[in-house]
Structure 1
Amino acid sequence: MHRRLILLLALVGLLTACTSGGPGPTDAPSTADGAFPVRIDHAFGAAEIPARPQRVVALGVTDADPVLALGVTPVAVASYTFYQETGGLGPWARGLVQGEAPQVLTEPEPNLERIAALRPDVIIALSSGIDRAAYDRLTAIAPVVARPAGSIAFGVSRTDQMRAVATALGETARGEELIRTADAAFADAVTAHPEFRGKVGATVLPFDGTYGAFTAADARGQFMTGLGFAQPPAIAERDDRQSFYVEVSSEQAGLLDGDVLVMLADEGAAKQQVDSDPVLRQIPVVARGDMVVPDADTRGAMTYNSVLSAPYALERLVPQLAEKLAG
């Protein structure tokens, strides 16, 4: 896949998880809280963390959330671009910063010199796109917690992310508590809205005159499946399990039809594309007014779909979905 396209959809974030997508959630770690060293197996080998980390670099674009949720302020964070100018954090996480604000890593590739200067005890790179070569270079600086084996880049579930971070920081019990809280928020939404179950609803980002429909490998796709929605059949058929989205040309916009459509196009070029696309306007879900365009922070919270952002997104998006289906 063309690297520019991946960076546009994932790292730049103009488009990162619910427990249902990607490889199944791992069992809760058996390591006792505070007992070190710990070992965390992942796609590139294993991270051996000798002592409780004090200085944490959150290199994955959503990895700051589970770190902050455990009461640790990273020394540096990566971020989707829509939060790079607000400290790299969404509104659901900013109030958890203690002491000095984290540096924001804006480079599309890991800046080894900058990261080394931070003197990290551990580098959390779960929701990142690092490959083996980048991993090998980073391990010369500090232990690296990478995505689990069997997952794709930016395809780590909320549960697996939280458990890996909790193990790395010696807070497994608190990590399980945070997972239960986020899962309960989804369960409450599903209970309150049984009409969501089995309805068809894609989550889509417009880019460069085409559309990216997120799959169950992506946090945004997982968010909808967690509420009971199904992908449009034509999108599901085109999901090769190798990417976090299915590309749909403007001429094929009819593939996005369903009971509801979540369009991540609240501003800029994405909004202009949606507003000016005559084919999109003619597909039934759009023609009858059942397209939801979330605001920037709701879009961000869906994109992160972390233990912190998921409840925030549910509170804002669920009423909009319910209103469309009721109409």
Structure 2
Amino acid sequence: METLHGDVTVPEQPERVVALGVAAADELISLGVEPVAVAADPGTLQDNAPWLADRIAGTADADLVPLDGEPNLEAIASAGPDLIVAEAYQVQDEAVFDRLNAIAPTIAPATDAVNPDWDERLLTTAQALGRTEEAEEIIDTITAEFAEAGAAVPGIDERTYQWVRADPDGYGFGNGSLFELFGLRPAGNQDNTQTGDALSREDTAELDADLLAVWAQSDEQRAELDADPLFRDLPAVESGTVYYADLAFANAINSPAPISLRWIRDELEPVIGELG
């Protein structure tokens, strides 16, 4: 099958699949395959990925991909994989891909995007497993579930969203394109490419979307937001349509997969409902 760095021959029915990240594990489990090892720290799963923590607690191994982000070839090889599912950002370097592929066939979407769309990643994983039809059904079902939640709000397609991280000196935009699954549209300054300038605290009033999702990375940052008169005057704050994200949400929306997507939907649905 085609991957980022050329064609790879995958066993007809892989039996020992290693997932080099939580999103990859999410995809595999959603497609009915239990990975034999997952690159994740078992001690932080409840905080980082509560939607999957119980499912991968016994197979999570922080040594597979240490904090520096470089796959640990020895640890991966010791898991005895016959297929490795990598995150796209991990194999941008062809030399890294080649070293992994020498251990076992390694797959990642055939795209230059560092973080490809969730459905593209799922379809790539499904192709390696011979389960493309199942993946297409999952995509259709999840898309319909989000649309159903959004349909409860009259005129949802006229409502806007913003997704930001609160920093000491302002706000950084994150990729919030998943909000569009509900039918919302991005506010004029919502930067889903994450390549634009940050928004200064002085310009807080520009966070004027109907639904605002904001990640305050500490209790102190959250207290600062609550005490900031500029923030308190925002339309979403006054109308109760702010979603205060945490680390888990930031992880989920950055690398979504079927199980985390349903977790995201459940997290956001009450706030979506307040738009009505």
Same fold? TM cut 0.5: yes
Partners of 2:185 and 2:96 lie apart in 1 by 36
Which range is displaced more, 118-127 or 160-169?
A: 118-127
Post-superposition CA distance 1:120-169 (Å, at most 9, x none):
2122123534322322332222222123324x212x22211211111112
Question: Match for 1:223: what amino acid?
Answer: L
- Of 86, 93, 115, the match for 2:76: 115
Post-superposition CA distance 1:194-234 (Å, at most 9, x none):
4321211111122454422123xxxxx12211112222212
**What value does the CA root-mean-square deviation take over the aligned residues?**
3.2
Match of 2:130 in 1: 170
- Of 92, 107, 122, the match for 2:51: 92
| In the alignment, structure 1 residue 101 sits paired with structure 2 residue 59 | yes
Q: What is the deviation of 1:50? A: 3.2
In 2 relative to 1, CA 272–304 (structure 1 residues): closer, same or farther, beyond 3 Å?
farther
Question: Match for 2:259: what amino acid?
Answer: L
Partners of 2:164 and 2:121 lie apart in 1 by 23
Q: What is the deviation of 1:301? A: 4.3
3-state DSSP of counterpart to 2:102: coil
Question: Match for 1:146: what amino acid?
Answer: A
Segments ≥4 residues shifted beyond 6 Å: none
Q: What is the deviation of 1:64? A: 0.8
Match of 2:103 in 1: 141
| In the alignment, structure 1 residue 228 sits paired with structure 2 residue 183 | yes
Identical counterparts, % of pairs: 30
* Count of residues paired in the alignment: 272
Answer yes or no: is the 8 Å Cα contact 2:166–2:216 preserved in 1.
yes
Q: What is the deviation of 1:193? A: 2.5
Question: Match for 2:178: what amino acid?
Answer: F
In 2 relative to 1, CA 290–102 (structure 1 residues): closer, same or farther, beyond 3 Å?
closer
Q: What is the deviation of 1:261? A: 0.6
Question: Match for 2:153: what amino acid?
Answer: H
Answer yes or no: is the 8 Å Cα contact 1:47–1:143 preserved in 2.
yes
Match of 2:4 in 1: 43
Match of 1:76 in 2: 37
3-state DSSP of counterpart to 2:81: coil
Question: Match for 2:59: what amino acid?
Answer: A
3-state DSSP of counterpart to 2:89: coil
Answer yes or no: is the 8 Å Cα contact 1:214–1:245 preserved in 2.
no
| In the alignment, structure 1 residue 126 sits paired with structure 2 residue 93 | no
Question: Match for 2:271: what amino acid?
Answer: Q
Question: Match for 1:173: what amino acid?
Answer: E
Q: What is the deviation of 1:191? A: 2.4
List gaps (5 residues or longer) in structure 2: none
3-state DSSP of counterpart to 1:224: helix
Post-superposition CA distance 1:80-125 (Å, at most 9, x none):
x8x7523798343345559x53324443322222222222212212
Q: Which has the higher helix share?
A: 2
Answer yes or no: is the 8 Å Cα contact 1:74–1:102 preserved in 2.
no
List gaps (5 residues or longer) in structure 1: 1-38, 216-220
Q: What is the deviation of 1:270? A: 4.7
Partners of 2:79 and 2:31 lie apart in 1 by 20
3-state DSSP of counterpart to 1:128: helix
3-state DSSP of counterpart to 1:160: helix
In 2 relative to 1, CA 77–128 (structure 1 residues): closer, same or farther, beyond 3 Å?
farther
In 2 relative to 1, CA 191–235 (structure 1 residues): closer, same or farther, beyond 3 Å?
closer
Answer yes or no: is the 8 Å Cα contact 2:153–2:272 preserved in 1.
no
